[in-house]
Amino acid sequence: MKMLSFANRNAKEILRDPLTLLFGLGFPLILLLLLSAIQASIPVPLFEIEKLTPGIVVFGLSFMTLFSGSLIAKDRSSSLLQRLYTTPLTPLDFILGYTLPILPFAVVQGAVCYVVAMLLGLKLTPNLLLAIVFIIPISLLYVALGLLFGSILNDKQVGGICGALLTNLSAWLSGTWFDLELVGGVFKNIAYALPFVHAVEVERAVLSGELSAALPHLLWVLGYSLVSLAAAVLLFLRQMKRQ
Amino acid sequence: MLAIQTNNLTKRYGDIAAVDGLSLSVEEGELFALLGVNGAGKTTTIKMLSCLTAPSDGDAFLHGQSICKNPERIKPIIAVSPQETAIAPGLSVYENLELICGVYGFSHEKKNMKIKELTDLLGLDAIMKRKAGKLSGGWQRRLSIAMALISEPKILFLDEPTLGLDVIARSELWDIIRSLKGKITVILTTHYMEEAEALSDRIGIMRDGKLLVCDTAEGVKRTAGSDSFEEAFIRIVKGVKA
């Protein structure tokens, strides 16, 4: 109950920020429409709707880091957290309160991308519904990164690092915009050592009904999610104690 | 009955003692002001007493509970209005009050009753639906204090509650703080001498983490040998003998 009150407040703060709708939903949809238009003129296998949409969905999730990180950093700078630390809320309440409101938003965002993709030719199958479910573990990774960055950076730094750097890194290293095989070498190795391309591969494999192919990529994503979450919790608790 | 008792309360940051062996007691229902120049240790004292930061040495007891051993028993009986206005800017005034009721686990009926009570006390009725982040500084401070009071604290910490407010807003907040006297224990930090003199039952003056004087406003003036409270404060902080 106490945690839910806090989570409810966080959900309202995020949803009432117009930038949330603009970047969280609008930007990925614009990219989906734009790249589909390019695909219609100059067909490229990478931009086929079945391959493109999972990449756009994961790209959209990278904004969850920006939303959660900004909210925490703003709360820290405004003394609101200081006030809440003196209430009966426990450290677990804070972690869950910042994490839970993002998950439904991430699922809705991904679902809207898939619905728009259906208008562009993606077929409605049970696999598509499963792909929406698999957004949850992937979004956990991005929320954990937001919790982590929000605990150590101020809101301007979060804007720069999560809003510019992470979204771009997540996009370039995801195999959505260009085929990583074409670049190859160190770039490809770095990309496959990070979770972003694996997140896209999970969605692509689930969407095409190849669950066994999704599993190794899912393990990469879950591994990074757990490590990020553990680091985020430690850093959040550290800044809590520093109050 | 004692609301607060500190025994040799100390907070060190490296070699620097922000609060150095603070021992004082505050009676239940008392309005106690902590005065001092910047860096005197007022805010650090409040942070320790409100369980935000752990002491390096010593202990403090709030209604008999140790801040070191039982912070979870202290949190339900205290409330803090921090130096900077601590509100959720994207929420309405009503939603801010609702948030605090929620984190204290109030029932629906109690929540409605407390919001009505605080709205009447602080005159928030006209702005209940307005976004907190869009309010003037004075209204944000009122809301901040309402958020502290709504949890029915036994001890309320007000850290420079009137900082940056205009004369009218300050006067109105003084009236609100006065109305709390005798009902709950209030620990107030301020830079405004006239505020401490007008509102407080007793005043503690700190410098370099140490408590120099702890007395009524009249007692402080007597100790410093001055008719003016501000002059008395300056003499005590500068170490001028009466």
Tell me the pLDDT tens digit for each residue of A15-49: 888 877 787 778 889 989 998 988 888 888 888 89
Q: Kindly report, residue by residue over A84-94, the tens digit of the pLDDT.
A: 998 999 989 99
d(CA B106, nearest CA chain A) in Å: 9
10 Å Cβ neighbour count for B69? Answer: 11
Looking at residue B137, its pLDDT comes to 86
Computed over every residue of chain B, the mean pLDDT equals 92
Match 């696999």 to its residue by tokens.
A127
- Residue B237's identity, in one-letter code, is V
Distances from the Cα of B242 to the Cαs of A86, A177, B34, B236, in angstroms? 41, 79, 21, 9
pTM over 0.95: no
d(CA B178, nearest CA chain A) in Å: 22
Mean pLDDT, to the nearest integer, of A192-210?
95
Is it the case that residue A243 has pLDDT exceeding 70? Answer: no
Match 């494999």 to its residue by tokens.
A205
Q: Kindly report, residue by residue over B205-217, the tens digit of the pLDDT.
A: 999 999 999 999 9
Looking at residue B83, its pLDDT comes to 76
Chain B residues touching A94 at Cβ < 8 A? none
Q: What is chain A's length?
A: 243
Is it the case that residue A239 has pLDDT exceeding 90? Answer: no
Partner-chain contact A6 B102, CB within 8 Å: yes
Q: Where are the beta strands (DSSP E) in chain B?
A: 2-13, 16-27, 31-35, 57-62, 65-66, 78-81, 155-159, 185-190, 202-207, 210-215
Mean pLDDT, to the nearest integer, of B23-47?
93
Q: Kindly report, residue by residue over B131-166, the tens digit of the pLDDT.
A: 999 999 888 988 998 999 999 899 999 988 888 778
Is it the case that residue B242 has pLDDT exceeding 70? Answer: no
Looking at residue A177, its pLDDT comes to 87
Measured CA to CA, the distance from residue B63 to residue B1 in angstroms comes to 8
Indicate the pLDDT class of residue B121, thresholds 50, 70 and 90: confident
Q: Which residue of B46, B83, B103, B155 is the best one to mutate when testing the A interface, meaning the one whose CB has the most A CBs within 10 A? A: B103
